[in-house]
Amino acid sequence: MLNKIKRKAPLAYFIVSRIITMFVLLFLLGFALFGLMELAPGDIVDQMMSQQIMATSQGGMASGSKAGAENVFSEEQLAKTREELGLDKPFYIQYFKWLHRVVVKHDLGVSLISRAPVSFLLSSRIWNSLLLNLISLVLITVFSFLLGVYFSSKAGTKLDVGVSFFALFFHAFPGILLLILVQLIASISGVFPVTAYPDFPFEEAPVRFTFSYMHHVFLPLLCSFLGGVGGTMRTIRATMLDQLGMPYIFALRARGISERRVYLNHAFRNTLNPYITGSANLLASLFSGSLIMEIIFAYPGVGRLTYEAVLQHDINLVLANSMLISFLVLLGMVISDILLAVVDPRIRYGAEK
């Protein structure tokens, strides 16, 4: 049955198989995340206990008494709290309960620290991260193609060598160090803010918020652009040079076709394949890089929310954030595979020849 479907609709079979593989990977990733959180020292109960002891200790010092600083938590109370939160069960039982709640009830649970619904916390942050990463992806894509195609026609010149040097330099430069240096420059010069988000909501003044947002995210976007455009541009440049050396290019030129048509209508189209293949990896690197950026520039995104949840051992929030980012990355890979098959008709996934 499967072989029959594969022969009649190879592309549809491939898409369905990739989607199934994506969900299997998400299942394994969630299982691994629960296991890693189990191995981490302490848990959410220890975190809550430490915060309570610190608050009690400060209250006792303020009143001149040390009695409030004593540890008033008994083992029975701690065990009861863990039982209420479901932390007394093995991690795999916790994971399957969480999975059942998400799949069947469509409920991501509540944050163990703030007691706010996880879906509310995610919805308030995910659009910020998506907007920032999509802007970075568009800028890197557009400039990579423009520069890659242009410098493929200038291969071997001094300008090409100089641009290639700086592209490799910023591509190899540590991203976290670049972010810190840029923030120091912003702090010293005062031209740009050291945070990456306006201090007032969008609803208050939409137009002013838009311009303020562009001003705030300029430096983070610049760091993301410098770190991503170098490798992508060189990939497109190398692919263009490889295509320009193909026999069909010589045949087109021998027929008197203009260089513009040779570049744009023929060689350029074949550069889309490696970019589409690598675009999913680029999106994954942007999301992973935005985690550090959101922490350094105090940007209210999913990455920063995940970091705070990990520090507080908030397993519900950590798992939901991590699964969401992984889902977006895996979805990007599936979309890139589909686009690759659409752009290049020579590709036949599983079709008989």
Q: How confident is the model at residue 46 (pLDDT cuts 50, 70, 90)?
A: low
Instruction: Give the tokens for residue 170.
Output: 């910023």
Domain presence at residue 111: no
Same domain, 84 and 148: no
Share of the chain above pLDDT 70, in %: 80
Domain presence at residue 112: no
Q: How far is CA 248 from the centre of its chain?
A: 39
Same domain, 177 and 96: no
How many distinct structural domains can be found in the chain? 2
Domain presence at residue 115: no
Q: What is the mean pLDDT of residues 141-165?
A: 85
pLDDT tens, residue by residue, 318-338: 888 888 878 877 887 778 777
Coil, helix or strand at residue 117: strand
Point out the least confidently predicted range of 130-139, 207-216, 303-312.
303-312
Instruction: Give the integer Cα–Cα distance in Å for 163 and 233.
Output: 10
Same domain, 55 and 89: yes
Same domain, 274 and 316: yes
To 10 degrees, the CA torsion angle through 155, 157, 158, 163? -20
Same domain, 140 and 78: no
Q: How confident is the model at residue 179 (pLDDT cuts 50, 70, 90)?
A: confident
Same domain, 78 and 155: no
Same domain, 181 and 285: yes
Domain presence at residue 277: yes
Q: What is the mean pLDDT of residues 216-226?
A: 88
Give the pLDDT of residue 353.
42
Is the model's pLDDT at 309 over the cut of 60? yes
> Which of 84, 78, 74, 72 lies closest to 115 in space, CA to CA?
84
- CB of 229 closer than 8 Å to CB of 144: yes
Same domain, 81 and 152: no
> Which of 234, 222, 275, 266 lies closest to 248 in space, CA to CA?
266
pLDDT tens, residue by residue, 5-35: 666 776 777 778 888 888 888 889 888 887 8
Instruction: Give the tokens for residue 145.
Output: 């193609």
Domain presence at residue 113: no
Is the model's pLDDT at 347 over the cut of 80? no
Task: Tell whether pTM > 0.85.
Answer: no
Q: Which residue has the higher pLDDT, 44 or 188?
A: 188
Q: What is the mean pLDDT of residues 166-175?
A: 84
Q: Residue 320's domain spans which residues?
A: 124-343
Coil, helix or strand at residue 345: coil
Same domain, 138 and 222: yes
Same domain, 149 and 195: yes
- CB of 187 closer than 8 Å to CB of 284: no
Domain presence at residue 54: yes
Domain presence at residue 4: no
Q: How confident is the model at residue 348 (pLDDT cuts 50, 70, 90)?
A: low
Domain presence at residue 206: yes
DSSP string covering 226-279, please? HHHHHHHHHHHHHHHHHHHTSHHHHHHHHTT--HHHIIIIIIHHHTHHHHHHHH
Question: Which CATH number characterizes residue 293's domain?
Answer: 1.10.3720.10
Same domain, 171 and 278: yes
Same domain, 82 and 199: no
Q: How confident is the model at residue 70 (pLDDT cuts 50, 70, 90)?
A: very low
